[in-house]
Amino acid sequence: MTHTVHPPGLTVSATARRLGVAPGTLRTWDRRYGIGPSDHAPGRHRRYSTADVARLELMQRALVRGVSPGDAARYAMAVPLPEDAPPDSAVEGRSRVGGRVLRLPGAGRRARGLGRAALALDSTAVSGLLVESVHGEGVEATWDEVVRPVLGAVGVRWADTATGVEVEHLVTGCVSAVFGAILGGAGQAVAGDARPVLLAAMPGEQHTLPILALAAALCGHGVAHRYLGADLPADALAAAARRTAPVAVILWSQLQETADLRLLHTLPRTRPRYRTFAAGPGWADTALPQRTGRLTSLRAAVETISDAVLV
């Protein structure tokens, strides 16, 4: 009789190091969403298998694209991985996403073009398509209908083949460059004495593409802003609020571990007062203070902020 020998899995600490998160985050994901180690042998430490780690990485990529933690976990658990398939039907019935195209069902012309350029690692073409989309459709449509579908397809491809990280990095870099150029262009047309909107990622938060998209979209709506980037220390945020007298402060949290309520409670009070908004999936399961608004999507955020500012 032949026995299948499975390779030893990773401990919680080793898995956390690989993913770049705190061990407590993995335990929270396991407890709240059921996405944890599958090795439950009695008398042994729980260990993450190759498939377990693949699902966690898939969940991470969904979070980066702005999906809520609960939805990201359900998506990661629903995607079939090679380790989950029965031996006699490992590939039968599965939709393969390898090869030289990305699967983008229902996507428009620009998204399909971006997908082809991304797989070819043609940064010039990727940037050109993004600029064309922004000029033709605007930042919101470019984000929702072009960028997000492509990043989502890259994530599915990675889950199926364990390849494509370089594609995601290239697309992310091009999107950051195109949206960043908008901040240095359209934003200059806003009146210099307008009270700005401050946009910043929470301390420790490195994922900023969605809030950069929001800053670029606000430019297109004539909203003065100050985009302060990733991992802004609390004291720096307080100093910026005092110096700029903002009309609103938007704090982005991609991961739950960076959604720190204490910072919301310690923001400085200024005259005139400003409105505070929490944005990103990191805040999804957090009860916000009474005077703090919640932003759940790019289009809703642009509408809410524009209504609050342009009165």
- The answer to whether 81 and 159 are in contact (CB under 8 A) is yes
With a CB cutoff of 8 Å and minimum separation 6, the contacts of 268 are 238, 241, 242
Q: What angle do CA 9, 75, 16 make, to 5 degrees?
A: 35
| pLDDT score for 44 | 60
| pLDDT score for 311 | 55
| pLDDT score for 5 | 44
Which residues, listed in sequence order, are joined to residue 251 by a DSSP beta bridge? 200, 278
Cis peptide before 272 (omega within 30 of 0): yes
| pLDDT score for 66 | 65
- The answer to whether 286 and 261 are in contact (CB under 8 A) is yes
Q: What does 222-272 look like in DSSP terms, one character per residue?
A: T--EEE--SS--HHHHHHHHHHH--SEEEEE-SSGGG--HHHHHHPPP-SS
pLDDT digits (tens, 9 = 90+) for 188-207: 445 556 789 999 999 999 88
C-alpha separations of 197 from 147, 235, 250, 262, 305 in Å:
24, 18, 7, 21, 8
Residue type, 293: G
pTM of this structure: 0.70
pLDDT digits (tens, 9 = 90+) for 247-278: 999 999 988 889 999 999 889 888 888 999 99
Tell me the chain's radius of gyration from C-alpha atoms.
21
Query: Which parts of the chain register pLDDT below 50?
Result: 1-6, 82-98, 187-189
The CA distance from 214 to 209, in Å, is 9
Element (H, E) at 276: strand 275-279
Question: CATH second-level architecture of 109-183?
Answer: Orthogonal Bundle (1.10)
| pLDDT score for 290 | 84
Exposure of 235 in the CB half-sphere (CA atoms within 13 A): 0
Backbone angles phi, psi at 100, to 5 degrees: -105, 15
- Tokens 């890259």 appear where? 154
What is 12-83's CATH number? 1.10.1660.10
| pLDDT score for 8 | 61
Domain ranges of the chain: 12-83, 109-183, 190-309
Element (H, E) at 215: helix 209-220
Looking at domain 190-309, its CATH class is alpha beta
Contacts of 20-26 spanning 24+ positions with Cβ under 8 A: 21/60, 21/255, 21/257, 22/257, 24/257, 25/255, 25/256, 25/257, 26/56
